[in-house]
Amino acid sequence: MNARTYYLVRITMYSALLLVIPVFAVIGRSRLDSITITGLSILGALVAGLLAHAVWRYRNVPAAAQITYGPSPEVVRAHAAAGSRRMPLYTFGAGVLGIAVTYFGMQHGRANPIVVVGSPAMLLVGLAGTIHPPVFYAMRRDLGEQPGGARAIAYFLGIVGLGLGGFAAWWLFWR
């Protein structure tokens, strides 16, 4: 993604959020106590800081700069070639963490359905990749074909994980 477009989107998003904060205050004016005013003020200051940072970065970024997410393809290719278990283990850990956060969130009545849907898929694919790394790296098409149908296994585990997560979200939130 072009860096200038990226920062323009961020500037627009932060500006819209700054304009919406007073609307929230007007809508909830019957419940406008000191804690709400303090919270909205802190949120406004945080968003204003993020807006200023985005404007500063937009002004200083070269026109041809690109924004990338995650590790570079070269790093992933090196991990895949070495059979590294680091990335699959991090994915497995993120899945376990998501399930733990959901468990403790349910005890306090504040769980997130998106985390419930995504955590089992990360857990299954991360576990499979920790046991057999080609299964994890086979999901990336730029690494070429992996031996033994690893891509089909990875996609199957991802779909099963999303299915389990969807069922769990239905069971916990909408049943």
Per-residue pLDDT of 70-98, as tens digits, reads 777 788 888 888 888 888 999 999 999 99
Tell me, what's the pLDDT at 105? 84
Measured distance CA(105)–CA(49) in Å, rounded = 30
Cα–Cα separations (whole angstroms), residue 44 to 13, 27, 40, 57, 73: 13, 16, 6, 20, 37
Q: Is the pLDDT of residue 29 over 70?
A: no
Q: Is the pLDDT of residue 49 over 90?
A: yes
Q: Is the pLDDT of residue 52 over 90?
A: yes
Tell me, what's the pLDDT at 28? 64
This model's pTM is above 0.75: no
